[in-house]
């Protein structure tokens, strides 16, 4: 993977890698859910403003938008913070989706 280009396929691969690592560290979905925040919150595509903007530009962020709507309703955010929050919400939801599949197996 590259650290300068992002698209839906790369973001999904990142989520899959994180989910596999989380799955290996936990024994159930509740534990995994708790750890997912740490992985999503420390991802370079979330914490670096430029990369968060690139994620928002190049990836589907429907789940990120739903996260902002649910968790940040009424909160005033500048453009950079909004991009980072959208990126976080999108990555978090993709990791959870992958984890759900892993725990079903």
DSSP three-state, residue 92: helix
Residues 6 or more apart from 43 whose CB is under 8 A from it?
14, 18, 87, 91
Confidence band of 2 (pLDDT split at 50, 70, 90): low
Percent of the chain with pLDDT over 70: 97
Residue 31 lies inside a defined structural domain of this protein: yes
- Cα 32 from Cα 37, distance rounded (Å): 9
Residue 69 lies inside a defined structural domain of this protein: yes
Count of domains for the chain: 1
Residue 1 lies inside a defined structural domain of this protein: no
- Cα 46 from Cα 74, distance rounded (Å): 21
Residue 46 lies inside a defined structural domain of this protein: yes
**Domain range for 33:** 8-104
Residue 3 lies inside a defined structural domain of this protein: no
Residue 55 lies inside a defined structural domain of this protein: yes
Percent of the chain with pLDDT over 90: 87
DSSP three-state, residue 21: helix
Q: What are the DSSP E strand ranges found in 39-84?
A: none
Res 75: pLDDT: 83
The pLDDT of residue 35 is above 50: yes
Residue 97 lies inside a defined structural domain of this protein: yes
Nearest to 54 by CA among 78, 90, 96: 90
């Amino acid at each position: 993977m590259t650290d300068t280009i992002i698209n839906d396929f790369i973001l999904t691969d990142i989520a899959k890698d994180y989910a596999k690592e989380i799955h290996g560290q936990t024994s159930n979905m509740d534990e995994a859910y708790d750890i997912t925040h740490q992985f999503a919150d420390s991802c370079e595509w979330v914490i670096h403003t430029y990369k968060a903007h690139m994620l928002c530009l190049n990836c589907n962020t429907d789940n990120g938008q739903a996260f902002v709507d649910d968790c940040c309703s009424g909160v005033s955010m500048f453009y950079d913070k909004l991009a980072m929050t959208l990126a976080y919400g999108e990555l978090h939801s993709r990791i959870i989706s992958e984890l759900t599949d892993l725990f079903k197996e």
